[in-house]
Amino acid sequence: MTVHSTPAGSAFAERAHAEQTPPPAPDRDTAARFVWPRLRPTEWVGAGILAAVVAFILIVPLLPGSDPYGQDLSASFARPFTDWSHPLGTDMLGRDLASRLAVGGQISLGIVVFVVAINAFVGMVTGMIAGYAGGRLDNLLMGWADVQLAMPLILVLIALSAAFGPNVWVMILTLAATYWVGYARVARSTAMSLKGRDFVIAPRIQGASPQWIVSTHIAPHVGVQVLILASADIGGVLLLTSSFDYLGLGVQAPTPSWGLLISEGQKYVRDAPYLALMPGIAIFLVVIGVNLLSQRFTSERELSALRRRKKVRA
């Protein structure tokens, strides 16, 4: 007896065969592009600068004899590269400048990362709630954001420092309470553009809770935008916190920070200009490195590529 295959049967067989066939392995070029992203020369320069600064602030404190607080008045104002036990010289109290730069970098960059992370999280959550909920809650939250924008940051910090004393936690809390507005606006606009899409409306019709919809379908998209903004914001926050340290409103002596080291070194700028120059160079390197590397996310080329990928998926 001859068995004739129907079109439905052949289609089912082809589909079953396709499911059993493993996907083709990526070629070497695709794998290389995944492991080594195609960065432009300026972006490689930025990544190299940041890698060198991070290596310096992590390795120098681990070297033998590294002590950012040890004083030796007989070795005060040693010039850079004249004594290899103090390769970057010493300050007015004979403390090793390389050690103080490294520890100050850990403190300064740690504060910056903490402040940016707190503001990004608060702004992202606030913006998603306002954009998805809309109505009165949106008006209330964005109205509070407008009030925050109207508050002069430096005057608020000076007032709080006068009331509670200048310290690093007053500076961090002030920045955390006032610097989240930019992230909230980005998150709100993204959430508002997404809540009318089919992949958000469908689970809402099926009875999914707003918390689940926001965390599953909106937060991943908003998180990408917030991450891009945060990467470009690190340099500005570093300049801001260093300025507060320079004015005596942040990190307090004897704990080193880059802004405080500039403040201490400016008193001896005629006789020992390197005391203020070295931390200034460190701040400049981090800011320029972040700005160069963040072009990876903010350049028109990358945004155009992202739009093309979205169109292909659609």
109-314: CATH topology: MetI-like fold (1.10.3720)
User: Which pLDDT score, from 0 to 100, does residue 43 have?
Assistant: 85
pLDDT per position as a tens digit, 106-159: 999 999 999 999 999 999 999 999 998 888 999 999 999 888 888 888 888 889
pLDDT per position as a tens digit, 145-200: 888 888 888 888 889 888 888 889 999 988 888 889 999 999 999 999 888 888 88
Distances from the Cα of 64 to the Cα of 10, 61, 254, angstroms: 74, 8, 21
User: Which pLDDT score, from 0 to 100, does residue 41 have?
Assistant: 84
Domain boundaries, the chain: 109-314
Neighbours of 113 (CB within 10 A): 14
Measured distance CA(227)–CA(5) in Å, rounded: 55
As a whole number, mean pLDDT of residues 197-218 equals 88
CB-based burial label for 3 (10 Å; 0-12, 13-18, 19+): exposed
Phi and psi torsions of 180, nearest 5°: -90, -5
Angle at 198 between CA 197 and CA 204, to 5 degrees: 100
User: Which pLDDT score, from 0 to 100, does residue 299 have?
Assistant: 58
Three-state secondary structure along 268-288? HCCCCCHHHHHHHHHHHHHHH
Measured distance CA(108)–CA(48) in Å, rounded: 20
Residue of 312 and 95 predicted with greater confidence: 95
Q: What is the mean pLDDT of the chain?
A: 83
pLDDT per position as a tens digit, 34-72: 334 577 888 899 999 999 999 999 999 998 878 899 888
